[in-house]
Amino acid sequence: MEQRYYQKEIETMPYAQMKKLQSERLVRQVRHVWDNVPYYRSLMEKKGVTPDDIHGVEDLHLLPFISKADLRDQYPYGLLATDLKNCVRIQSTSGTTGRRVVAFYTLKDVDLWEECCARAIVAAGGSREDVVQIGYGYGLFTGGAGLHGGSHKVGCLTLPMSSGNTERQIQFMMDLRATILCCTPSYAAYIGEALKDHGYKPSDNHLKAGIFGAEPWTEEMRHDIEAKLGIKAYDIYGLTETSGPGVAFECEEQNGMHVCEDNFIPEIIDPDTGEVLPEGEKGELVFTSITKEAFPLLRYRTRDICVLHRGKCSCGRTLIKMAKPMGRTDDMLIIRGVNVFPSQIETVLLKEGHTPNYQIIVDRVNNTDTLDINVEMTPEAFSDTVKALSAAEQKLAAAIRLMLGITPKVHLVAPKTITRSEGKAVRVIDRRKLHD
């Protein structure tokens, strides 16, 4: 029989029991952090809280938040909660702005992280029969290392491809009959396109599932990838600060990601006031890691905009679900006073039958914000008349206006002119920042 869970007891634990486990772990973790990280102790003292005030999950809201700015500020060792001699690994964020964040792991931390990734692989239908192709970057990025470890734990044959070198990805995928592909959704779409360019039909490969994450992607993008590769595409979420991928993962319902609550307690807060919002409301996702030894974070503000929902899931898992994050508070564009997430534009593009190869350019001309969207044509559309293309551009602009309330300038550009992503896609160029 197919194995449905990697750790059944935890994944299907009744919530009352889970809450008890979380509470015990939280109390222990707060004490650990208080005793070992002077910076945390000072944040708690500022808020007038001591470990004696924390008796369980219901007291979580008493603790101070911690943010990316704190992590950068304390780089590299300021938040380390154990002797460096106990650590066996570091991983780091891509660090496009400011200082990088470096996260430390003990052997136990690595083990628990890999277990979370193993849960994700089994939830996507993985077992020791599978060949898992890992197209996430290896190195400081957590994508490669996390899924690699998870794949080993499940006992799959692991292909440590890393990202890039698409020709070789395709060769190994076909020759070694990969059954599960792990990479970013934008790279999965690119691989799908490259397979087609090689003359392969979706049914020619042996893939059955993909485990895609590390960047926001829409339901429409999921359908596009599923059709291109002939697979079921599962979402996976995580961040370097809390370990890496596997903080939450999707099951066969493909309707939100189960959070590994035994390791991470999620909360949703109002990003402006910090107030905890009730279940089902949209806000900023906050995590408290209750099992990490080396780099524990209490109430870490992820800046991801999300919704939590606890309900019955047909897969039998009782772990709370998080919706697909729609982006980060700092990815949200404010264009002519309107809040715009790139994912909203992606939804319209794909619904209107366009390719997922696009670029959003925001600028300010004569004190007015401008929004230009370059969208790659399909090779079939490329042979259309200028009149037909211009009509298609106007139709798309009208559909985006309907979604956002502002009218963009849409430019259909020639096939293969927008750079493909092998990792996290860069969809937005905000030229206003250059003027500021």
Instruction: Say if CB 271 and CB 326 are below 8 A apart.
Output: no
CA atoms of 92 and 96, how far apart (whole Å): 12
Q: Quickly count: other Cβ atoms within 10 Å of residue 14's Cβ.
A: 9
63 CA to centre of own chain: 26
Q: Which DSSP string do the residues of 351-395 spell out, in sequence order?
A: HTT--S-EEEEEEEETTEEEEEEEEEPPHHHHTS-HHHHHHHHHH
Beta carbon of residue 311, minimum distance to ligand DLL (angstroms, whole number): 20
Tell me how far, at minimum, the Cβ of 184 lies from ligand DLL, in Å. Answer: 7
Beta pairing class for 257-259 and 321-322: antiparallel
CA angle 148, 304, 396 (to 5 degrees): 100
- Judged by the rule CB under 6 A, the positions of this chain that interact with ligand DLL are 93-94, 136, 142-143, 213-216, 235-240, 244-245, 302, 304, 324-325, 328
Nearer to ligand DLL, 106 or 242 (CB): 242
Cβ at position 74, least distance to ligand DLL in Å: 17
Give me the least distance between CB of 72 and ligand DLL, in Å please: 13
- The one-letter amino acid code at 5 reads Y
Cβ-closest residue to ligand DLL?
213
Residues 27, 28, 34, CA angle at the centre, nearest 5°?
90
Task: Scan for tokens 């029969």, then name that residue.
Answer: 129
Nearer to ligand DLL, 104 or 237 (CB): 237
Residue with Cβ nearer ligand DLL (115 or 369): 115
Q: Least CB distance from residue 117 to ligand DLL, whole Å?
A: 9
Element (H, E) at 348: helix 342-351
Taking the complex as a whole, the smallest distance from the CB of residue 435 to ligand DLL amounts, in Å, to 26
Query: Which residue, 26 or 147, is less far from ligand DLL as judged by CB?
Result: 147
Between 114 and 215, whose beta carbon lies closer to ligand DLL? 215
Closer to ligand DLL by CB, 267 or 304: give it: 304
Q: Would you state the structure tokens that stand for residue 212, as one six-digit string?
A: 């895609």
Q: What is the DSSP letter of 240?
A: G
Q: Which is nearer to ligand DLL, 236 or 375 (CB)?
A: 236
Contacts of 14 (CB under 8 A, 6+ apart): 318
Q: Which is nearer to ligand DLL, 125 or 216 (CB)?
A: 216
Q: Where is 400: in which H helix or E strand?
A: helix 386-404
When the beta carbons of 179 and 302 are compared against ligand DLL, the nearer one is 302
Q: How far is the CB of 27 from ligand DLL (least distance, A)?
A: 27
Nearer to ligand DLL, 125 or 150 (CB): 150
φ, ψ at 128 (rounded to 5°): -70, -5
Shortest CB 148 distance to ligand DLL, Å = 11
CB of 212 to ligand DLL, least distance (A): 7
Q: What is the DSSP string of 125-185?
A: T--TT-EEEE-SPPSSSHHHHHHHHHHHHHT-EEEE--S--HHHHHHHHHHTT--EEEE-H
Of 295, 298, 365, 250, nearest in space to 62 by CA: 298
Nearest distance, CB of residue 287 and ligand DLL, angstroms: 10
Q: How far is the CB of 91 from ligand DLL (least distance, A)?
A: 9
Residue number with CB closer to ligand DLL (23 or 343): 343
| Burial annotation 309-329 (CB, 10 A radius, 16+ → b, else e) | eeeebebebbbbbbbbbbbbe
